[in-house]
Amino acid sequence: MEFITNIYLFLASVMLISLSGVLMPGPLFAVTLEKAAKSKTAGLLISIGHGIVEFPLMFLIYFWLSSFVMPDIVTIAIGLIGGLAMMLMGFQTYRNRKKVEQKYFHSNRDTLSAGIWTTAANAGFILWWLTIGTTLIINAQLFGFVGFSVFAVVHWLCDFVWYSVVAFAIFKSKRFWNEKVHNAIFVFCFAVFIGFGAWFFSFALWSFATAYI
């Protein structure tokens, strides 16, 4: 299966895919809104809590994948599943564009703990890393451990910047999250997820066709 071999293009794609994921309102975003009403640094602590769960998971997947030579058919299967998952998430995001996750909106935990536990309890987060995230990590392996480490930091920085900006803006003015911003973000997420999902899926399908048909 073909992957992006230019580190700069790869990191640019990581930023777009990561941002499209973090921009989708969900449990972590709901907790950020709730905590930001009381603290302008809530986003910073939420993203640190998120990273406490996410960094070990990223490195665990990387080292697990590096422990054996992955057959081409497995790489192709991951690409197909990851691409399909991205497209399905894009359609689901568009279909649910009028809804914001409220399940974790009222959290009694401190902000850092809320970031940790909301991340760990989010099934969508685990599914993302088992499909889309794994596909990105396989691509990151082309650039060695240093390249992967840069990928991990860039991915987390997308979370850090977004939640920090949102929390600060909410703290200053609750009018930040209005209907126009809400709709624009969903359109952006939909376009990125469908576009990259189709790209991953089509290349995996082409790789399968050329290798096995």
pLDDT tens sequence across 190-206: 787 788 778 778 877 88
Each as own residue / partner, the long-range contacts of residues 102-105 (CB below 8 Å, 24 or more positions apart, any chain) are 102/30, 103/27, 103/30, 104/27, 104/28, 104/30, 104/31, 105/30, 105/31, 105/33, 105/34
Tokens 């809804």 locate to 99
**Amino acid type, 121:** A
How many angstroms separate the CA atoms of 18 and 34, rounded? Answer: 23
Map tokens 């894009």 to a residue: 90
Which band of pLDDT confidence, cut at 50, 70 and 90, is reported for residue 155?
very high
Least confident of 71-85, 92-106, 164-178: 92-106
Residue 51 structure tokens: 């990273």
pTM, two decimal places: 0.77
CA distance 27 to 51: 15
- Specify the pLDDT at position 85: 79
Question: CA 201, 50, 68: angle at the middle one, nearest 5?
Answer: 50
Share above pLDDT 70 across residues of the chain, in percent, rounded to a whole number:
84
Q: Which contacts of 100-106 are long-range, i.e. CB under 8 A and separated by 24 or more positions? A: 100/25, 100/29, 100/30, 101/25, 101/26, 101/27, 101/29, 101/30, 102/30, 103/27, 103/30, 104/27, 104/28, 104/30, 104/31, 105/30, 105/31, 105/33, 105/34, 106/34
53-80 average pLDDT score: 86
Highest mean pLDDT among 7-21, 87-101, 102-116: 7-21
Question: Which pLDDT belongs to residue 182?
Answer: 63
The CA dihedral of 21, 24, 30, 36, to the nearest 10 degrees, is 80
The most confident of 32-46, 74-88, 154-168, by mean pLDDT: 154-168
One-letter identity of residue 84: L
Amino acid residing at 37? A
pLDDT at 175 over 60: no
pLDDT of 201 reads 84
Residue 91: per-residue pLDDT: 78
Q: Is 90 exceeded by the pLDDT of residue 118? A: no
User: Which of 187, 189, 203 is CA-nearest to residue 83?
Assistant: 203
Q: Tokens 């909301």 — which residue?
A: 118
Distance CA 82, CA 134 (A): 8
Residue 104 has pLDDT above 50, yes or no: no
Residues 42-60: what's their mean pLDDT? 94
pLDDT of residue 56: 96
